A and B are shown apart, each in its own frame.
Chain A
Amino acid sequence: MTKTKRILLIGNPNVGKSTIFSRLTGAKVIVSNYPGTTVEYYQGYFKLEDKEAIIIDAPGIYNLEPSSKAEEVAKELIDGADIIVNVMDATNLERNLYLTLQLLETNKPIVVVLNIWDETKHKGIEIDCQKMEEILKVPVVATSGISGEGIRKLAFRIWEAKTSSFVAEDKWKSIGFILQNVQKLYHKHHTLLEILGEVSIRPLTGFFIAAVVIFISFTLVRFIGENLISYIFDPFFNKLWLPLLVKIDSLLKGGGILHSILIGHLIGGEVDFVQSFGLLSTGLYVPLAMVLPYIIGFYLVLGFWEDFGYLPRLAVLMDNFMHRLGLHGYSIFPFILGLGCNVPGAMATRLLASRREKFITATLMAIAVPCMAQIAMIVGLLGKRGGQYVFLVFFILLLIFIIKGLILNKLMPGHSPEILMEVPPYRLPRWDVTLKKLWMRMSGFLKEALPLVLLGVIAVNLLYSLGIIKAIASLLSPFLVKIWGLPKESVAALIIGFLRKDVAVGMLGPLGLTTKQLIVGSVILAIYFPCIATFVVLTKELGWRDMLKSVIIMIFVTFSVGALLNLIL
Chain B
Amino acid sequence: MEIDLTKLPPGHRGVIVRVEGGVGFIKKLEYMGIRQGKIVRKISSHFLRGPQTVRVDNFDVAIGFGMARKIFVKEV
Contact = CB atoms under 8 A, between A and B. Distances in A.
Given A94-B33, A95-B32, A418-B67, A202 B57 contact: no
Contact of B51 (A92, A95, A320): A320
B32 A198 contact: no
Interface residues of A, number: 37
A420 B46 contact: no
Contacts of A125: 58
Highest count of chain A CB atoms <10 Å: which of B10, B53, B58, B61? B58
B33 A203 contact: no
Nearest to A116: B58
A99 B49 CA distance: 32
Size bin of chain B's contact surface: 20 to 34
Nearest to B41: A198
26 contacts: A63-B27, A65-B27, A89-B59, A94-B57, A95-B56, A123-B58, A125-B58, A201-B53, A202-B10, A203-B50, A315-B62, A319-B62, A320-B48, A417-B64, A418-B63, A419-B51, A419-B63, A419-B64, A421-B61, A421-B62, A422-B32, A422-B61, A423-B53, A423-B62, A424-B59, A425-B60
Nearest to B54: A423
A94 B43 CA distance: 21
Q: List the 6 closest pairs (A to B, CB-CB), nearest first.
A: A418-B64, A95-B33, A62-B31, A423-B60, A320-B50, A202-B44
Contacts of B67: 418, 420
Contact of B60 (A65, A418, A420, A422): A422
Interface string A55-97: 0000000110101000000000000000000000101101100
A89 B64 CA distance: 24
A206 interface: yes
Contacts of B35: 172
B32 A62 contact: yes
A389 interface: no
Contact of A203 (B24, B46, B56): B46
A98 B57 CA distance: 15
Contacts of A320: 46-51
A172 B36 CA distance: 11
Interface of B: 10, 24, 27-29, 31-33, 35, 43-51, 53, 56-67
A316 interface: yes
A500 interface: no
A285 B70 CA distance: 58
Contacts of B48: 320
Nearest to B64: A418
A126 to B, nearest CB: 13
Interface in A416-455: 417-425
Contact of B59 (A92, A203, A418): A92
Interface in A279-332: 312, 315-317, 319-320, 328-329
B57 A92 contact: yes
Highest count of chain B CB atoms <10 Å: which of A65, A202, A420, A425? A420
